[in-house]
Amino acid sequence: MGAFIAEEIQFQLIGMSAAILQGVPVATLDVDLWLDLPVRQYMRAVNLAVAHGAKLLRNTVVELTDGTLVNFIFEVTGLGDFATELGRARKLRFHGLDVPVMSLERIRKSKAAIMRPKDPAHIHYIDQTLRASKANRRKK
Protein backbone atom coordinates (compact mmCIF):
# COMPACT_ATOMS: atom_id res chain seq x y z
CA MET A 1 0.00 0.00 0.00
CA GLY A 2 2.90 2.31 0.74
CA ALA A 3 4.13 1.76 -2.81
CA PHE A 4 0.81 2.94 -4.23
CA ILE A 5 0.92 6.03 -2.02
CA ALA A 6 4.46 6.74 -3.23
CA GLU A 7 3.33 6.34 -6.85
CA GLU A 8 0.28 8.51 -6.17
CA ILE A 9 -2.12 5.77 -7.23
CA GLN A 10 -5.23 6.15 -5.14
CA PHE A 11 -6.72 3.02 -3.59
CA GLN A 12 -9.22 1.89 -1.00
CA LEU A 13 -9.68 -1.39 0.83
CA ILE A 14 -12.98 -3.06 0.03
CA GLY A 15 -14.69 -6.43 0.45
CA MET A 16 -14.42 -8.70 3.45
CA SER A 17 -10.84 -7.67 4.23
CA ALA A 18 -12.18 -4.15 4.77
CA ALA A 19 -15.04 -5.62 6.81
CA ILE A 20 -12.61 -7.52 9.05
CA LEU A 21 -10.63 -4.34 9.75
CA GLN A 22 -13.90 -2.78 11.00
CA GLY A 23 -14.69 -5.65 13.34
CA VAL A 24 -16.68 -8.19 11.33
CA PRO A 25 -15.61 -11.56 12.79
CA VAL A 26 -15.11 -13.57 9.61
CA ALA A 27 -12.11 -14.91 7.73
CA THR A 28 -10.95 -14.02 4.24
CA LEU A 29 -8.16 -15.32 2.10
CA ASP A 30 -7.19 -12.09 0.36
CA VAL A 31 -7.09 -8.32 0.55
CA ASP A 32 -9.25 -6.58 -2.04
CA LEU A 33 -7.68 -3.33 -3.16
CA TRP A 34 -9.77 -1.08 -5.41
CA LEU A 35 -7.42 1.02 -7.51
CA ASP A 36 -8.14 4.29 -9.25
CA LEU A 37 -6.78 2.94 -12.53
CA PRO A 38 -8.49 1.80 -15.73
CA VAL A 39 -8.53 -1.99 -15.96
CA ARG A 40 -6.26 -1.90 -19.03
CA GLN A 41 -3.51 -0.62 -16.73
CA TYR A 42 -3.64 -3.64 -14.43
CA MET A 43 -0.02 -4.45 -15.22
CA ARG A 44 1.04 -1.14 -13.70
CA ALA A 45 -0.29 -2.32 -10.35
CA VAL A 46 1.17 -5.80 -10.78
CA ASN A 47 4.58 -4.46 -11.77
CA LEU A 48 4.64 -2.17 -8.76
CA ALA A 49 3.85 -5.08 -6.44
CA VAL A 50 6.42 -7.33 -8.12
CA ALA A 51 9.05 -4.60 -7.78
CA HIS A 52 8.43 -4.81 -4.02
CA GLY A 53 8.96 -8.58 -3.88
CA ALA A 54 5.44 -9.83 -4.59
CA LYS A 55 4.80 -12.83 -6.83
CA LEU A 56 2.23 -12.76 -9.60
CA LEU A 57 -0.24 -15.63 -9.15
CA ARG A 58 -3.01 -14.60 -11.54
CA ASN A 59 -3.71 -11.58 -13.74
CA THR A 60 -4.81 -9.39 -10.85
CA VAL A 61 -3.69 -11.45 -7.83
CA VAL A 62 -0.27 -11.18 -6.21
CA GLU A 63 1.24 -12.79 -3.13
CA LEU A 64 3.21 -10.43 -0.90
CA THR A 65 6.39 -11.54 0.84
CA ASP A 66 4.47 -12.29 4.07
CA GLY A 67 2.02 -14.56 2.23
CA THR A 68 -0.80 -12.01 1.99
CA LEU A 69 -2.81 -12.42 -1.21
CA VAL A 70 -3.82 -9.12 -2.77
CA ASN A 71 -6.54 -8.91 -5.39
CA PHE A 72 -6.53 -5.74 -7.49
CA ILE A 73 -10.02 -4.52 -8.33
CA PHE A 74 -10.81 -1.94 -11.01
CA GLU A 75 -14.63 -1.90 -11.01
CA VAL A 76 -17.15 -2.51 -8.24
CA THR A 77 -20.78 -3.48 -8.81
CA GLY A 78 -23.64 -1.59 -7.19
CA LEU A 79 -21.73 1.46 -5.96
CA GLY A 80 -20.69 4.90 -7.15
CA ASP A 81 -17.46 5.63 -8.99
CA PHE A 82 -14.07 5.41 -7.31
CA ALA A 83 -13.87 9.08 -6.30
CA THR A 84 -17.38 9.10 -4.82
CA GLU A 85 -16.70 6.01 -2.74
CA LEU A 86 -13.27 7.24 -1.69
CA GLY A 87 -14.95 10.35 -0.31
CA ARG A 88 -17.16 8.12 1.83
CA ALA A 89 -14.35 5.82 3.00
CA ARG A 90 -13.13 5.68 6.59
CA LYS A 91 -9.45 6.17 7.37
CA LEU A 92 -8.07 3.36 9.54
CA ARG A 93 -4.58 2.82 10.88
CA PHE A 94 -3.37 -0.45 9.35
CA HIS A 95 0.21 -1.72 9.03
CA GLY A 96 1.47 1.72 10.09
CA LEU A 97 -0.45 3.62 7.41
CA ASP A 98 -3.69 5.60 7.41
CA VAL A 99 -5.60 3.60 4.83
CA PRO A 100 -8.97 4.44 3.22
CA VAL A 101 -11.39 1.63 4.01
CA MET A 102 -14.88 1.25 2.56
CA SER A 103 -17.55 1.53 5.27
CA LEU A 104 -19.58 -1.51 6.29
CA GLU A 105 -22.74 0.08 4.93
CA ARG A 106 -21.18 0.46 1.47
CA ILE A 107 -19.69 -3.05 1.51
CA ARG A 108 -23.14 -4.34 2.40
CA LYS A 109 -24.69 -2.38 -0.49
CA SER A 110 -22.22 -3.82 -2.97
CA LYS A 111 -22.81 -7.36 -1.72
CA ALA A 112 -26.57 -6.92 -1.88
CA ALA A 113 -26.19 -5.84 -5.53
CA ILE A 114 -23.97 -8.77 -6.52
CA MET A 115 -25.61 -11.45 -4.33
CA ARG A 116 -23.25 -14.35 -5.03
CA PRO A 117 -23.93 -17.53 -3.00
CA LYS A 118 -21.56 -16.42 -0.22
CA ASP A 119 -22.94 -12.87 0.06
CA PRO A 120 -26.04 -13.54 2.25
CA ALA A 121 -23.77 -14.96 4.96
CA HIS A 122 -21.45 -11.96 4.71
CA ILE A 123 -24.40 -9.56 4.88
CA HIS A 124 -25.62 -11.35 8.02
CA TYR A 125 -22.27 -10.83 9.78
CA ILE A 126 -22.04 -7.22 8.62
CA ASP A 127 -25.54 -6.53 9.98
CA GLN A 128 -24.75 -8.17 13.31
CA THR A 129 -21.52 -6.18 13.60
CA LEU A 130 -23.34 -2.91 12.88
CA ARG A 131 -25.86 -3.79 15.61
CA ALA A 132 -23.11 -4.72 18.06
CA SER A 133 -21.16 -1.53 17.26
CA LYS A 134 -24.27 0.51 17.97
CA ALA A 135 -24.80 -1.25 21.30
CA ASN A 136 -21.13 -0.74 22.15
CA ARG A 137 -21.27 2.99 21.40
CA ARG A 138 -24.57 3.52 23.19
CA LYS A 139 -23.36 2.14 26.50
CA LYS A 140 -19.98 3.90 26.63
Partner 1 sequence: MLRDWPKVYRRLELMRGLDEHEKVLYARSLAATPDERWQMNVTFLRSLGLWGRSSLKKFSSNS
Q: Residue 28 class from Cβ within 10 Å (0-12 exposed, 13-18 middle, 19+ buried)? A: middle
First and final CA of the chain: distance in angstroms? 34
Stretch binding partner 1 (CB under 8 A), from 18-26, 34-42, 44-52, 75-83: 18-26
Kindly tell me which of 16 and 48 has the beta carbon lying closer to partner 1: 16
Kindly tell me which of 61 and 86 has the beta carbon lying closer to partner 1: 61
Stretch binding partner 1 (CB under 8 A), from 3-11, 38-46, 81-89, 124-132: 124-132
Stretch binding partner 1 (CB under 8 A), from 35-43, 80-88, 102-110, 132-140: 132-140
**Shortest reach from residue 41's CB to partner 1, in Å:** 21
Amino acid at 27: A
Q: Residue 131 class from Cβ within 10 Å (0-12 exposed, 13-18 middle, 19+ buried)? A: exposed
Closest CA to 110 of 96, 97, 126: 126
Kindly tell me which of 3 and 97 has the beta carbon lying closer to partner 1: 97
Contact status, residue 131 vs residue 137, Cβ threshold 8 Å: no
Q: How far apart are CA 2 and CA 60, in angstroms?
A: 18
Residue 67 interacting with partner 1 (CB under 8 A): yes
What residue ranges bind partner 1 (CB under 8 A)?
15-17, 20-30, 32, 55, 57-58, 61, 63, 67-69, 71, 92-95, 101, 116, 118, 128-129, 131-133, 135-136, 138-140
